[in-house]
Amino acid sequence: MKKVYFFVLLTVICSVLTFNSFAQKTESNKQITRCVTMQRLEKLFSNDLLSRANNNQRNANTNTGPFISSYRLNAVVTIPMVVHIVLPNPYVVTDADVQSQIDRLNLDFAGINGDSSNASATFLALRGHSMIQFCLAKRTPGGQLTSGIERRTSTTTSSPLSTEDPIKYQSKGGLDQWDPNSYLNLWIGNDDGSGEILGYAHFPGTTPVAEDGVFINYQSWGSNVCYTLPDYSKGRSATHEIGHYLGLMHIWGDDNGCSGDDFRNLTEVQSTCSLPAGLFNPPGSGNTSADIGDTPNQGGETTNCSVGEVTDACATTTPGKMYQNFMDYSLDACLTMFTKKQVERMEWVLDHCRGSLKTSLGCQPPASTITRDASPLESVNPGGVELIGCNSKYYSSVVFCAGSFVPKVRIVNNASTTLTTVTVGYQIDDGTAITKTFTVNLALGASAVVSFDPISINAGNHEIRYFTSNPNGNTDQVPANDSITTSFTVNGSTTVPFTENFLSTTFPPVNWSLINPDGGVTWQRHEAGKGNPGSAYMNTFNYDKNNEVDDLVSPRISFNPVGIDSVKLSFDLAAATYSDPSDPSVTMDTLQILVSKDCGTTFTTVYKKWGKELRTVDTPQTDEFIPTPDQWRKENVDLTSFSGQSPIQLFFRVTNNFENNIFLDNINVMTSVVPALLKSQGYLVLPNPFRQNFVVWHYHQPTDLRFIRVYNSLGQLMLTQEYKGNAENYIPIDLLGKPSGIYFVRLQYLDTRKNITQQIVKY
């Protein structure tokens, strides 16, 4: 099953919810551990007994004195937020998506969200209204103007169970934290493939400080239908995780029993933030008459969207469970409230344990701002990505073929004034610079992709420089960022006979290309090969994303059609399944071969196999498949229909469904001219006479051939070969060791009227 988790890392780590089969290798009925907060703490303690001793001492010294009269803030506090987006296409999360999520947070934390009618009158009376609000940062830690959003095009994902979460480090492909004393840092990205992790947060006063902040899976960020999961599309993952960031526990107390306490002191999670007596329960006081909390006892997390009053083994009577609480695991549509005591706790934590956020200048723009500063942000074509509707279109830094090329660049407005016009240009190598003025509408930090007219470009290595000028018709105030340069290669072509055996460790091979839309697992070289070391393979065994497509693209292959009778593609294939391909509930990996005559604009499918037809081993392989020499099969594809349409390109396409690996080797494209007699007669047996071997050669594949039998001159049967619709055009016959003399070759077909007997001589 596809695993969905909420994570809170103390690092507090919390898993949540199972839905939609994503991977056959995970048992569909496997019990998911939805929260491992305490297990994580026990692991930390077991690795450092001094930490346990220090923690026990800290708990012993916790203030249990008189209650404070008020834990509330005196006025609204707006927390500056910086949103770090790290994705293969970070522009799928738009600026509008970010702002809508912040708007949702402000409604939820103020307790004025309009969807709270699902709470009973009893719970509505407990509903809290905090004075905590959020804004996108308007200045950087260095005092420069910012939109509060930064993006990085990267395949780096969040890995909450690693020592360091790579998404939070520039050096690991992510984005570095801004000063956590002045900003709430949010990282938006994908998880590391161990499951769909919707988010995690750091409690106040916990380590590592360099990772303090919140991670949210982009699939649960905001409400954009292009990428959010339907059950998590109301932005409540961020509300939940920021609740942890401000000191709240899960509502059921994380024990999956009736003794759990969601109003424990933060020192119990190794935080240096020690709460006053009125905001936590001393050990043993939770769920008793001395409990200071206002949330009902609850036996475990909620994993659906309940309706009406719901009880469990711990909340046995009215009003039942508070499944509407933001700190439960209900689906987004059911999470609608914090309680008054939770609000008190968050506001006290903000005031005393994250107090520097109250005086941060992050929400205020710098006094002096730049009003005209446009720049090229990154190359889109070549080597980048753009968003078209809900789909990401990736452009390789290797252009498939010489000819038409469309330069594209993403430009950004770095100034406080909205950018309405800008001149953008490009220059390839030392050629003539081409410029064009574009009309745009870009607020601070907003970007757009601009395109130029198609140009013709030769094969080889090139550099392209993109540049901007004249923002809003005036001089750019920051000329230092007005140009970027990137390198790219335009692939050359080749002619038949064409062979690729992947002997070289360079991959993709010279003049080959890869298309990897999701930036994840793709074609790579493997040492296993058929006959010689080296092959191309797709690691679908470890690729747990269904229906992702990856292409291995050949050079353009040219051939002279004059006199050609056939064009043939052959290759060696090794493939296995993980699941039983006869199971109708399982979708198999698919290998297709597509031919393009126009550099990948249009395609003709010439080969498509999956499941039983694709695999080269008869039984499912539950271990990762690496082929042995006898687990390969020769595949042949007729390309003769393209003989007058040269040059062509071959796209070897795998559609992944998390089954097992697929290998290709010894790819050959050959043309042939056949003897006139073969064309007229339909078959030949040659050479005649022969010394040891002869060949039965059919002009068209003999799918109805059933037997080849060879008799000596006495009528004795010397050899039989049987076929069941799988006979090749070219069939070698070996009579090594047989005496010289006259033999008779008998070809027997499904239609017996076609049966043929031919005399041949062995010398």
Residue 450, domain CATH: 2.60.40.10
Distance in angstroms (rounded) separating the CA atoms of residues 68 and 608: 72
Q: Does residue 462 belong to any structural domain of this protein?
A: yes
User: Which pLDDT score, from 0 to 100, does residue 47 have?
Assistant: 47
What average pLDDT does the segment 378-389 reach?
95
Q: Which residues contact 479 (CB under 8 A, 6 or more apart)?
A: none
What average pLDDT does the segment 542-567 reach?
89
The tokens for 649 are 């390109």
Half-sphere exposure (Cβ direction) of 289: Cα atoms closer than 13 Å: 0
Neighbours of 459 (CB within 10 A): 17
Q: Is the per-residue pLDDT at 268 higher than 70?
A: yes
Name the phi and psi angles at 49, rounded to 5.
-65, -30
Query: Is the same domain home to 100 and 248?
Result: yes
pLDDT, tens digit (0-9, with 9 covering 90-100), for 96-115: 999 999 999 999 999 999 99
Closest CA to 733 of 15, 724, 57, 744: 744
- Domains: count for the chain: 4
Q: Where does a domain end: 359, 392, 414?
A: 359
* Across 7-21, 186-200, 348-362, 444-458, least confident range: 7-21
pLDDT, tens digit (0-9, with 9 covering 90-100), for 316-341: 999 999 999 999 999 999 999 999 99
Distance in angstroms (rounded) separating the CA atoms of residues 529 and 627: 8
Query: Is the same domain home to 122 and 207?
Result: yes
**DSSP secondary structure letter of residue 92:** G
What's the 3-state SS for 629-658?
Answer: HHHCEEEEEECHHHCCCCCEEEEEEEEECC
CATH number for 735: 2.60.40.3080
Encode 56-89: b = buried (16+ Cβ within 10 Å), e = exposed.
eebeeebeeeeeeeebebeeebbbbbbbbbbbbb
Query: Is the same domain home to 215 and 311?
Result: yes
Q: Where does a domain end: 672, 691, 713?
A: 672
pLDDT, tens digit (0-9, with 9 covering 90-100), for 626-663: 999 999 999 999 999 998 888 999 999 999 999 999 99
pLDDT, tens digit (0-9, with 9 covering 90-100), for 9-37: 444 444 333 333 333 443 333 232 222 33
What average pLDDT does the segment 482-510 reach?
95
* Across 15-29, 123-137, 296-310, 418-432, least confident range: 15-29
Q: Does residue 368 belong to any structural domain of this protein?
A: no
Query: Is the same domain home to 612 and 709?
Result: no
What average pLDDT does the segment 182-194 reach?
89
Q: Where are the beta strands (DSSP E) in 45-108?
A: 77-87
Identify the residue with better confidence: 192 or 340.
340
pLDDT, tens digit (0-9, with 9 covering 90-100), for 452-479: 999 999 999 999 999 999 999 999 999 9
User: Which pLDDT score, from 0 to 100, does residue 69 have?
Assistant: 61
Q: Is the per-residue pLDDT at 49 higher than 50?
A: no
pLDDT, tens digit (0-9, with 9 covering 90-100), for 53-99: 444 444 444 444 445 668 999 999 999 999 999 999 999 999 999 99
**Rounded-to-10 torsion of CA 165, 167, 170, 171:** 50
Q: Where does a domain end: 306, 330, 359?
A: 359
Q: Does residue 6 belong to any structural domain of this protein?
A: no
Instruction: Please name the amino acid found at residue 474.
Output: N
Q: Does residue 406 belong to any structural domain of this protein?
A: yes
Name the phi and psi angles at 467, rounded to 5.
-145, 160
Distance in angstroms (rounded) separating the CA atoms of residues 397 and 555: 15
Beta bridge partners of 200: 215
Query: Is the same domain home to 687 and 647?
Result: no
What average pLDDT does the segment 518-541 reach?
95
Q: Is the per-residue pLDDT at 51 higher than 70?
A: no
Confidence of residue 517 (pLDDT cuts 50, 70, 90): confident
Q: Is the per-residue pLDDT at 612 higher than 50?
A: yes
CATH number for 341: 3.40.390.10
Distance in angstroms (rounded) separating the CA atoms of residues 535 and 500: 9
Asked if 12 and 203 touch (Cβ cutoff 8 Å), the reply is: yes
Query: Is the same domain home to 680 and 599?
Result: no
Q: Does residue 29 belong to any structural domain of this protein?
A: no
Q: Does residue 17 belong to any structural domain of this protein?
A: no
User: Which pLDDT score, from 0 to 100, does residue 471 have?
Assistant: 99
Chain CA centroid to CA 403, Å: 32
Q: Is the per-residue pLDDT at 300 higher than 60?
A: yes
The tokens for 507 are 């991959």
Q: Does residue 241 carry a catalytic annotation?
A: yes
Asked if 135 and 141 touch (Cβ cutoff 8 Å), the reply is: no
User: Which pLDDT score, from 0 to 100, does residue 544 have?
Assistant: 82
User: Which pLDDT score, from 0 to 100, does residue 59 have?
Assistant: 46
Q: What percent of the residues of the chain are helix, what percent strand, and what percent coil, each to the nearest 5? A: 15, 30, 50
Confidence of residue 673 (pLDDT cuts 50, 70, 90): confident
User: Which pLDDT score, from 0 to 100, does residue 52 have?
Assistant: 46
Stated pTM of the model: 0.78
Distance in angstroms (rounded) separating the CA atoms of residues 638 and 445: 53
Q: Does residue 509 belong to any structural domain of this protein?
A: yes
Q: Is the per-residue pLDDT at 50 higher than 60?
A: no
What's the 3-state SS for 488-511?
Answer: EEECCEEECCEEECCCCCCCCCCC
pLDDT, averaged across the chain: 89
User: Which pLDDT score, from 0 to 100, does residue 700 have?
Assistant: 87
Residue 241 structural domain: 34-50+65-359
CATH number for 605: 2.60.120.200
Query: Is the same domain home to 589 and 708?
Result: no
Query: Is the same domain home to 241 and 348?
Result: yes
Query: Is the same domain home to 232 and 110?
Result: yes
Closest CA to 521 of 193, 220, 184: 193
**Cα 657-658-660 angle, rounded to 5 deg:** 110
Query: Is the same domain home to 207 and 86?
Result: yes
What average pLDDT does the segment 596-612 reach?
94
Distance in angstroms (rounded) separating the CA atoms of residues 121 and 726: 74
User: Which pLDDT score, from 0 to 100, does residue 41 have?
Assistant: 40
Q: Which residues contact 29 (CB under 8 A, 6 or more apart)?
A: none
Query: Is the same domain home to 509 and 553?
Result: yes
Query: Is the same domain home to 281 and 325?
Result: yes
**Please, what is the end-to-end C-alpha distance for the chain in angstroms?**
66
Distance in angstroms (rounded) separating the CA atoms of residues 334 and 106: 18
Neighbours of 6 (CB within 10 A): 28
Distance in angstroms (rounded) separating the CA atoms of residues 10 and 185: 15
User: Which pLDDT score, from 0 to 100, does residue 561 have?
Assistant: 78
Q: Does residue 310 belong to any structural domain of this protein?
A: yes
Identify the residue with better confidence: 122 or 560.
122
Residue 511 Cα distances to 400, 418, 595, angstroms: 8, 43, 16
Closest CA to 187 of 195, 196, 179, 176: 176
Query: Residue 753: which region, alpha, beta or left (left: phi > 0; alpha: psi -120 to 50)?
Result: alpha
Marked catalytic residue, from 150, 196, 211, 241: 241
Closest CA to 662 of 516, 503, 550: 550
Residue 574 Cα distances to 20, 628, 631, 655, 680, angstroms: 30, 9, 6, 16, 37
User: Which pLDDT score, from 0 to 100, does residue 48 have?
Assistant: 53
User: Which pLDDT score, from 0 to 100, does residue 368 have?
Assistant: 86
User: Which pLDDT score, from 0 to 100, does residue 676 have?
Assistant: 86
What average pLDDT does the segment 394-404 reach?
85
User: Which pLDDT score, from 0 to 100, does residue 192 have?
Assistant: 80
